[in-house]
Amino acid sequence: MRTGIFTRLSGIFALAALEIPLFTGELLARAGGAGGGDGGSGYSGGGNGVDYGIDTYRGYAPSGHFNFSVIVIAIFLLAILYSIFSVVAKFRKGSNDNAFGEPMPDAAPDIRIDNDAGIPGAPPGFDRSAFLTKVRKAFNDVQMAWCEQNSDLMRRFISDGVYQRFSTQFKMMRLLRQTNLLSGINISMLWVDRIEQDGQYDIVHAGIKASMTDRFSCALNHELDEEGKSEFVEYWSFICKHGAAGRDMYDTEQCPNCGAPLPKDIGEVCQCKYCNATINSGEFDWVLAEITQQDDYRRDGNHAEKYAGLDAKVDEMEALYGDFCVQLVEDKASNAWMQMMTSKAMHDPAIMRRFVTDELFRQLAPQYEKNREIFNRLFLNRVTLINAEKKENKNRLTFAITCSYQRAELTGNSVRLLDQEIVEREEIMTLTRDASAGAGKGSIYQHNCSSCGAPVKDTLDIKCSFCGSTLNSTANDWIVSALLSRSAFMAS
Ligand SMILES: [Zn+2]
Ligand SMILES: [Zn+2]
430-458 core/surface letters (b: 16 or more CB in 10 A; e: else): bbbbeeebeebebbbbbbbbbbebeebeb
Give the mean pLDDT of the chain: 79
Tell me the mean pLDDT in the region 74-102. Answer: 49
Pick the ligand that lies closest to the CA of residue 263. Answer: 1
113-141 core/surface letters (b: 16 or more CB in 10 A; e: else): beeeeebeebbeebebeebbebbeebbeb
322 Cβ contact partners less than 8 Å away, ≥ 6 residues apart: 439
pLDDT at 157 over 80: yes
Pick the ligand that lies closest to the CA of residue 477. Answer: 2
Predicted TM-score (pTM) of the model is: 0.78
User: Distance, CA 256 to ligand 1 centroid (Å)?
Assistant: 7
Pick the ligand that lies closest to the CA of residue 257. Answer: 1
Look at 108-112, 305-309, 418-422, 462-466 and tell me which has the smallest mean pLDDT.
108-112
User: Distance, CA 203 to ligand 1 centroid (Å)?
Assistant: 24
What is the C-alpha separation between 419 and 309, in angstroms, rounded?
A: 40
**Tens digits of residue pLDDT in 277-333:** 889 989 999 999 999 988 888 876 555 678 888 999 999 888 888 778 999 999 999
pLDDT at 214 over 70: yes
**Tens digits of residue pLDDT in 217-241:** 999 999 889 999 999 999 999 999 9
pLDDT winner (highest mean) among 65-79, 158-172, 289-303: 158-172
Does 53 or 420 have the greater pLDDT score? 420
What is the C-alpha separation between 469 and 477, in angstroms, rounded?
A: 12
| Strand 394-411, strand 423-434: pairing | antiparallel
pLDDT at 242 over 60: yes
| pLDDT of res. 307 | 87
183 Cβ contact partners less than 8 Å away, ≥ 6 residues apart: 212, 213, 214, 215
The DSSP code for 187 is E
Distances 358 to 140, 292, 342, 354, 474 between C-alpha atoms, Å: 41, 33, 19, 9, 11
Tell me the mean pLDDT in the region 459-475. Answer: 87
User: Distance, CA 248 to ligand 1 centroid (Å)?
Assistant: 13
pLDDT at 362 over 90: yes
Pick the ligand that lies closest to the CA of residue 467. Answer: 2
Does 124 or 40 have the greater pLDDT score? 124
User: Distance, CA 489 to ligand 1 centroid (Å)?
Assistant: 44
User: Distance, CA 317 to ligand 2 centroid (Å)?
Assistant: 25
Residue 238 backbone phi and psi in degrees, to 5: -120, 140
User: Distance, CA 433 to ligand 2 centroid (Å)?
Assistant: 17
pLDDT at 87 over 60: no
Distances 47 to 33, 36, 259, 314, 404 between C-alpha atoms, Å: 3, 9, 33, 26, 9
| pLDDT of res. 23 | 33
Does 47 or 193 have the greater pLDDT score? 193
Confidence of residue 448 (pLDDT cuts 50, 70, 90): confident
Pick the ligand that lies closest to the CA of residue 283. Answer: 1
pLDDT winner (highest mean) among 13-17, 140-144, 219-223, 278-282: 140-144
Distances 209 to 104, 168, 186 between C-alpha atoms, Å: 8, 26, 9
| pLDDT of res. 18 | 30
Judged by phi (left if over 0) then psi (alpha if -120 to 50, else beta), residue 149 lies in left
Half-sphere exposure of 7 (CA within 13 A, CB side): 26
User: Distance, CA 126 to ligand 1 centroid (Å)?
Assistant: 25
Reported for 357-365, long-range contacts at CB under 8 A and 24+ positions apart, including other chains, are: 357/432, 357/472, 357/474, 357/479, 357/480, 357/481, 358/472, 359/481, 360/480, 360/481, 360/482, 360/483, 361/472, 364/340, 364/483
Pick the ligand that lies closest to the CA of residue 271. Answer: 1
Confidence of residue 357 (pLDDT cuts 50, 70, 90): very high
| pLDDT of res. 108 | 63
What is the C-alpha separation between 127 and 114, in angstroms, rounded?
A: 8
| pLDDT of res. 19 | 30
Which domains can be identified in the chain, with CATH numbers?
4-97+112-245+286-437+477-491 (3.10.450.240)
**Tens digits of residue pLDDT in 363-381:** 999 999 999 999 998 999 8
| pLDDT of res. 389 | 93
User: Distance, CA 262 to ligand 1 centroid (Å)?
Assistant: 8
